Structure 1
Amino acid sequence: MNLGDFKMKKSIIVIILVSILLNLLPVKAYADGGPEISSEAAILMNMNTGDILYQKNADEKLSPASTTKILTAMIVIEKCKLDDVVTVGKIPLYEDGSNIALNVGEKLTVKDLLYAMMLESANDAASALAEHISGSKENFSKLMNEKAKSLGCKASNFVNPNGLYDDNHYTTASDLAIITKKAMENEVFRKIVSTVTYEIPPTNKQPKPRKLYNRNKLLSYPGYKYDGITGVKNGYTEKSKNSLVASASRGSMNLISVILKAEHSSVYKDSKALLDYGFNNFQCEKVLSMDTAICNLNVGNINIPIYPTKDFYITSSKNDKSVVYKKLVFEDDIKKINKDMNIGYVEITTKYGGKEIIPLTPQKEYSSVLYTLKYMGHSTYKKVLSPAVKALIIIAVSFLVLAITLLILSYYKKCRKRKQA
């Protein structure tokens, strides 16, 4: 699209582009019907967009059990280096539930403890990591709540790093999906939660290696394995019942499912039903690409490609046609165009009211001379490059060439006369 010549005033320039796209789904809306879920709470999210494809009691406060460790792992990865050495204190010895039998004074890397926590759901590993970072589980819990709040979680409170039951330790399916979406953006986290087996080498307190197995049955267990599964974490306590956060990818579609307070026989069944529902009924489409110009600005007869600063996806339903509106807005007071500057933004609005604002950039620098001419006024610029001026320049150059030619010929004639003389 060529925007032609424009003036960058205080009043912004708005161009409305209407793109007809198939099957747009709004945020927090889902197709009629949906899967039958017996668990107390559930949610299905498009990981690329954050769109909610299905929800059941998604805002009910429930105990997350060991899915708590998703948040714990995210904080640990942000705060520590994988090869940092952790010296186990006394607290992990008294942890209930799953553990890898850590010893007081045992030295392990952060990496080994992360794998123990996320694969074997080791509560002692979670506590050792929390103590290493914050000095105590209580102080680490403050970090957890701060992080959850910063991500937009609205109904969560964490009092320990492992998910052992406590009346004051709770979250919602919606908040847990938000936490997981952020965690899955990290490559280290993704690698850990997709690992089936891992071995911790011998330590100063343990002469034999520890073999770890991922308890998320969707990854590898016969009869449970799910096509496209990429993680994440299961959990269980007697009071919390079963919980499972799962992620799966097929093509460009990346999903997160959350199941809370499920009976043992239904937690995997419900997770599969959610993921199947997502893959069978929806697809993910890229509306904007960082590598594709959204338009060209014509400044002084020079076309400048303008790009979005990030890729943008939408969730599409197979049974619905919708409209996406792209509104391009360009700011004033642009003296020079640099490759990283925000020259304006694109505002994407869906038929259902969803909205996203994405900055625009030229991705390269352009000559300052061009913009000096432009800001002298377009009429001046046109005058400089007018046909009459071009003709005068051509004539002047022609005369110059002719004069030089005549001088050269005159010089050769004089040289010949001297030789003849």
Structure 2
Amino acid sequence: MFQTIVTFLIMPFAPFWLYGDMAANMNGKNISNIEICNTSDCKSSSSEEKFFDSEKLERHSVFPIDSVLASGLVPTRKENAPDLKIWAGSSVAIDADTGTIIHYENGRKRTQIASLTKMMTAILVVEKMKDLNEEVVITKEAVNMVGTVVGCPTSTFCNGNRMYAGEKVRAIDLLKVMLMNSANDAATALGIHIAGTSEGFVEMMNKKAKSMGLKDTNFCTASGLEIDGKEEECFSSAYDIARISAYSLKYDIIWEIMKIPDGKFYSTDGKYMHDLKNTDILLETLPNCIGGKTGFTPLAGKSLLLGAENPAGKHRIIAVILNDNQRWDDMRTLVNWVFDNHKWQ
């Protein structure tokens, strides 16, 4: 609550009652003006690149080399294709199977990413937990999280049952409510369960990021909430988020969850019921959407990552837009632009 009150006081244009992934957003201060790539790295949106080109990211750390050789098909922009115009602070679209960059705008600009952080949390949950039916005890620290939590889409609006300290919930159900509702308490509970402490889990997250060659990322929390007074230490980039999301495609369970529109789950003793509600409205309005994750804090602004496939279902892309008040319309524009103006050959 303290964090929420402070946010309200220092950011009058981002009311604290709207603080959550399902909330509307007004622009706030972020660190997206910090550009870490040089001119040769920051290509225009009309460029196509490979992750392994030049000083780009080490592609083999994200995709198996043999997958490229087996596919042999990369997206190429059609002749006379129009330029893309969207309003995101930064944005990237990649071919998920080959790593080819299709769209790139300020892709390596460091900024807060809010709940898009939960993609890395989900990866570690799947990799570190042998049995997702394992019981997780909800800690007091998890229950005290602000922003979007189980039963509460925003900090001051609740429309369902909250979790309580000591409640036992299956890891798979916490994974669902973390990815669908974007629940910060679920992310925190999972992190503590896996690493023993929130700090220990953040260390695991940053170690994983380093092993993937993510040069523009430093995680602060499992949930994506910034730490008061250390906000500028919590960052990533559209470029790195695209890589994390592409990496996560190897785990079907993550993307299967992100396609679920709604549902319910119960504590393991059956006494407490909680609602599941996906925050990604493009699931219902974009036919080729295969899943996505929303993000919002007053500092990060509205963000969205999305997986999509072409109408024939043969090619998948990952698209990321950060700090964009028109994220739904712009994501739809971005995805349609990719498939309308590129061919795989």
- Give the TM-score, by structure 1 length: 0.58
Counterpart in the other structure of 1:258? 320
Rounded to whole Å, the distance in 1 between the matches of 2:182 and 2:241 is 17
Classify 1:189/1:130 alpha carbon distance in 2 versus 1 (closer, same or farther; 3 Å).
same
Counterpart in the other structure of 2:307? 247
Rounded to whole Å, the distance in 1 between the matches of 2:97 and 2:234 is 29
1:82 correspondence with 2:132: yes
Given that 2:216 and 2:236 are in contact with CA atoms closer than 8 Å, whether structure 1 keeps it comes out as yes
Deviation of 1:149 after TM superposition, in Å, equals 1.7
Counterpart amino acid of 1:83? Answer: N
Rounded to whole Å, the distance in 1 between the matches of 2:101 and 2:115 is 23
Deviation of 1:130 after TM superposition, in Å, equals 0.2
1:234 correspondence with 2:284: no
What runs of 5+ residues in structure 2 fail to find an aligned partner? 1-71, 151-161
Given that 2:74 and 2:95 are in contact with CA atoms closer than 8 Å, whether structure 1 keeps it comes out as no
Deviation of 1:25 after TM superposition, in Å, equals 3.7
Rounded to whole Å, the distance in 2 between the matches of 1:53 and 1:103 is 45
Deviation of 1:269 after TM superposition, in Å, equals 1.1
Query: Which one of 93, 97, 111 corresponds to residue 62 of structure 1?
Result: 111
Rounded to whole Å, the distance in 1 between the matches of 2:176 and 2:214 is 26
Rounded to whole Å, the distance in 2 between the matches of 1:64 and 1:23 is 29
Query: Which one of 292, 314, 333 corresponds to residue 273 of structure 1?
Result: 333
Map 1:16-165 onto structure 2 (within 5 A): 25=76, 33-80=82-129, 81-100=131-150, 101-165=162-226
Deviation of 1:33 after TM superposition, in Å, equals 4.3
Given that 1:152 and 1:178 are in contact with CA atoms closer than 8 Å, whether structure 2 keeps it comes out as no
Rounded to whole Å, the distance in 2 between the matches of 1:128 and 1:31 is 51
Map 1:214-363 onto structure 2 (within 5 A): 214-220=278-284, 225-250=285-310, 251-263=313-325, 266-284=326-344, 316=345
Classify 1:32/1:115 alpha carbon distance in 2 versus 1 (closer, same or farther; 3 Å).
same
Deviation of 1:208 after TM superposition, in Å, equals 3.9
Q: Deviations over 1:308-357 (max 9, x none)?
A: xxxxxxxx4xxxxxxxxxxxxxxxxxxxxxxxxxxxxxxxxxxxxxxxxx
Given that 1:115 and 1:198 are in contact with CA atoms closer than 8 Å, whether structure 2 keeps it comes out as no
Q: Secondary structure at the match of 2:189?
A: helix
Deviation of 1:23 after TM superposition, in Å, equals 8.1
Deviation of 1:88 after TM superposition, in Å, equals 1.2
Counterpart in the other structure of 1:197? 262
Rounded to whole Å, the distance in 2 between the matches of 1:61 and 1:24 is 27
Classify 1:258/1:208 alpha carbon distance in 2 versus 1 (closer, same or farther; 3 Å).
same
Given that 2:75 and 2:342 are in contact with CA atoms closer than 8 Å, whether structure 1 keeps it comes out as no
Rounded to whole Å, the distance in 2 between the matches of 1:234 and 1:76 is 19
Q: Deviations over 1:395-421 (max 9, x none)?
A: xxxxxxxxxxxxxxxxxxxxxxxxxxx
Q: Secondary structure at the match of 2:83?
A: coil
Query: Which one of 178, 189, 193 corresponds to residue 243 of structure 2?
Result: 178
Rounded to whole Å, the distance in 2 between the matches of 1:31 and 1:168 is 42
Rounded to whole Å, the distance in 2 between the matches of 1:37 and 1:140 is 35
Classify 1:86/1:44 alpha carbon distance in 2 versus 1 (closer, same or farther; 3 Å).
same
Identical counterparts, % of pairs:
30
Counterpart amino acid of 1:210? Answer: H
Please provide the CA RMSD for this pair. Answer: 2.0
Q: Which has the larger radius of gyration?
A: 1
The structure whose residues are more often strand, as a share, is 1
Counterpart in the other structure of 1:406? none
Counterpart in the other structure of 1:210? 274
Deviation of 1:70 after TM superposition, in Å, equals 0.6
Rounded to whole Å, the distance in 2 between the matches of 1:146 and 1:261 is 26
Deviation of 1:207 after TM superposition, in Å, equals 2.7
Aligned residues: 255
Counterpart in the other structure of 2:46? none
Larger relative contact order, structure 1 or 2 (CA cutoff 8 Å, min sep 6)? 2
